[in-house]
Amino acid sequence: MTLLSLKGIESGYGKLQILFGVDMDIRPGKISVIIGPNGAGKSTALKSIFNLCDIYKGSVVYKGKNITRLPTHERIGMGIAIVPQGRQVFCGLTVRENLEMGAYLTTDSALVERRLQEVLGHFPPLRAKLSENAYSLSGGQQQMLAIARALMQDPHLILMDEPSLGLAPKTMKEIFAKIRDIVDEGCTVLMVEQNAKSVCEIADEIFVLEEGRVALHGGRKLLNDPQVKHIYLGGHGHKEGRGPYLNKVLT
């Protein structure tokens, strides 16, 4: 069973091609994680699913429907949400206003309120701060708010770009536990994650992206390979990234 498929995706920004034929099958009810060196195209892969970059070739199929050319707001309507990199909350707005923004496609205000209460159930610290400005939140709380805002639209698939970036280990653990809860309730998550420890803890499926291509794909045990660990999760730069292991696999 597949919820989302990327089939031979070639995409980028104007004349700058970043992805060169990416195939991915995302299974429902799982946490799939994209890892890979800086600049490999991880964020671009998420943007390709949300129509935030240019797609030259290939297709995006969601729930059996070809959505490659669908406008972003229609994707939201079909249950796809995105949590962009860098905890992008609206800092001039209160926590409540941020959450309400997440449900902007819903005109039924009673439904929005019900949704708000459900979402706050996942993130109790936000409840106490509903009328405070989002900028007064800690980094971890802002990340919670970014995720909570995505949940407001009752998505079936959430795309998350490096949700643990810049968070203390304890906060990161909390966030990942929440993400697992959300998945246990039936949501599917596709995320980009660079932190080795958190990938080990959270990934059901792993895609290693390198220079705009899926170099490796597998379950969590893919990370047991010392070369993969060292190359992709050790914080190495780009060019020296590909070691003997991947050369062997790829050639």
Give the Cα separation of 4 and 65 in Å (integer): 9
Q: 19: part of which helix (H) or strand (E)?
A: strand 16-26
Contact of residue 243 among Mg ion, ligand ADP, none (CB under 5-8 Å per partner type): none
Collapsing DSSP to helix, strand or coil, 2 comes out as coil
Decide whether 100 or 161 has the Cβ nearer to ligand ADP.
Answer: 161
Contact of residue 38 among ligand ADP, Mg ion, none (CB under 5-8 Å per partner type): ligand ADP
Collapsing DSSP to helix, strand or coil, 231 comes out as helix
43 binds Mg ion (CB under 5 A): yes
DSSP symbols for 100-150: HHHTTT---HHHHHHHHHHHHHH-HHHHTTTTSBGGGS-HHHHHHHHHHHH
Contact of residue 41 among Mg ion, ligand ADP, none (CB under 5-8 Å per partner type): ligand ADP
CB of 161 to Mg ion, least distance (A): 6
Give the Cα separation of 66 and 38 in Å (integer): 29
Give 5's strand partners.
25, 61
CB of 212 to ligand ADP, least distance (A): 8
Decide whether 18 or 190 has the Cβ nearer to ligand ADP.
Answer: 18
Contact of residue 135 among Mg ion, ligand ADP, none (CB under 5-8 Å per partner type): none
Window of 20-28, 42-50, 69-77, 144-152 that interacts with Mg ion by CB under 5 A? 42-50
List the structure tokens of 104. Answer: 């902007």
18 binds ligand ADP (CB under 6 A): yes
Give the Cα separation of 251 and 249 in Å (integer): 6
Q: Judging by beta carbons within 10 Å of its beta carbon (0-12, 13-18, 19+), is residue 44 exposed, middle or buried?
A: buried
13 binds ligand ADP (CB under 6 A): yes
CB of 67 to ligand ADP, least distance (A): 20
Give the per-residue contact string, 29-58, with ligand ADP (x = CB under 6 A; - = no).
-------x-xxxxxxx--------------
Residues of this chain that interact with ligand ADP (CB under 6 A) are 13, 16, 18, 36, 38-44
Residues that bind Mg ion (CB under 5 A): 42-43
